Amino acid sequence: MKKPMPSLLAAILSVLLCAAARSAPPEPAPSFSLRTHGAEGTVSLADFAGEIVVIDFFAHWCVPCGKSAPLIEADIRRHYLQRQGNSNGIPVRVLSVNVDQDDPKGTARFIARHRPAMVVDDVDGETFRKYGGKTMPRLVVVDGTGGAADGKGFTVVHAENAFGGTSALRRIIDGIGKAGR
């Protein structure tokens, strides 16, 4: 009995699924030094050496940011703080990056409502652009386990221009530090 030839659609779907299953190689994370919101001092990428950092770019007027911020705070930051790191014991930090400097009162209301633990200001939007930002929320997971005090050795392991939920982020975060990763 002759086997039927796979349809063109099935062949294309197979190729796409195989391509999606392969993870893109991590990219070097661009360095940054950003002003701490409402306080003196700065936060730089090098401050996260040996850690995983979830960078959450937000603006007070961004409706999806208002929906994702409390979930990221509770289901990512607090979750990993209580567990003292990811499944491999690597500390996880969330850095909330304000990209709108035009309405300080609006930003203050957003921060008061969602209470992010660590907020910095991207005054000119340069860091947002360096991390591929086009829309918000923009979430980036950076593996700093190989990071050094000079800001080198950090890699972007995930980036999304929309919030895909905390379950997917946790899988990515918990995969950092496993053998072969």
pLDDT in tens, the chain (181 residues): 444 444 433 333 333 333 333 345 679 999 999 999 988 899 999 999 999 999 999 999 999 999 999 999 999 999 999 999 999 999 999 999 999 989 999 999 999 999 999 999 998 999 999 999 999 899 999 999 998 888 789 999 999 998 889 999 999 999 999 754 4
To 10 degrees, what angle do helices 104-114 and 63-71 make? 30
Is residue 18 a part of any domain in this protein? no
pTM of the model as a whole? 0.83
The number of domains in the chain is 1
Is residue 161 a part of any domain in this protein? yes
**Strand-by-strand arrangement of the 92-98 sheet:** 27-28, 155-160, 138-143, 52-58, 92-98, 119-121, 33-36, 42-44
Contact 169, 139 (CB under 8 A): yes
Is residue 12 a part of any domain in this protein? no
Is residue 7 a part of any domain in this protein? no
- Cis peptide bond N-terminal to 30, omega within 30: no
Is residue 112 a part of any domain in this protein? yes
Domain CATH number, residue 97: 3.40.30.10
pLDDT in tens, 134-156: 998 999 999 999 988 887 899 99
Is residue 119 a part of any domain in this protein? yes
Which domain covers residue 91, as residue numbers? 25-175
Is residue 90 a part of any domain in this protein? yes
Is residue 19 a part of any domain in this protein? no
